[in-house]
Amino acid sequence: MASAHVMEFTDSNFDAEVLGADKPVLVDFWAEWCMPCKILAPTIDEVADAHTGTLKVGKVDTDANREISVKYGISAIPTVIIFNKGEIAKKFVGLTKKEDIEAALAEMS
């Protein structure tokens, strides 16, 4: 079951929710048919739950939101991008360990 702390980002809300956020934002680019994306999902949920209030976490379905996926050059999924003040702070392509995500977040605080 997905965490209540993980939002859905879309082509229409991405600028406001991600680029305009007042705290770092972790974005998981994924697709329903992607098995590595499904394997990564619990890790994304754990990070979201652990950082409630200090980090915004959300997912972009690359099939349904092609505009934003193309804008950020998503050519392989899963891709996780951490935005800070509207800029890309860190990008992970492929399955990513929770420890690596946590280390990237720690660098921002």
**Per-residue model confidence as pLDDT tens digits over 30-44:** 999 999 999 999 999
CATH number assigned to the domain comprising residue 82: 3.40.30.10
Query: In the prediction, which pLDDT does 106 show?
Result: 95
Catalytic site residue 34?
yes
* Integer Cα distance of 2 and 8 in angstroms: 11
Confidence check: pLDDT of 2 > 90:
no
Query: In the prediction, which pLDDT does 76 show?
Result: 97
67 within a domain of the structure (yes/no) = yes
Average pLDDT, the chain: 96
Count of structural domains within the chain: 1
Catalytic site residue 31?
no
96 within a domain of the structure (yes/no) = yes
**Catalytic member of 25, 26, 37, 47:** 37
- The parent domain of residue 52 ranges over 6-108
Q: Is 17 exposed, middle or buried (0-12, 13-18, 19+ CB in 10 A)?
A: middle
Query: In the prediction, which pLDDT does 3 show?
Result: 84
Query: In the prediction, which pLDDT does 108 show?
Result: 84
1 within a domain of the structure (yes/no) = no
**Catalytic member of 7, 21, 31, 34:** 34
Confidence check: pLDDT of 1 > 60:
no
- What backbone torsions phi and psi does residue 19 show, to the nearest 5 degrees? -70, -30
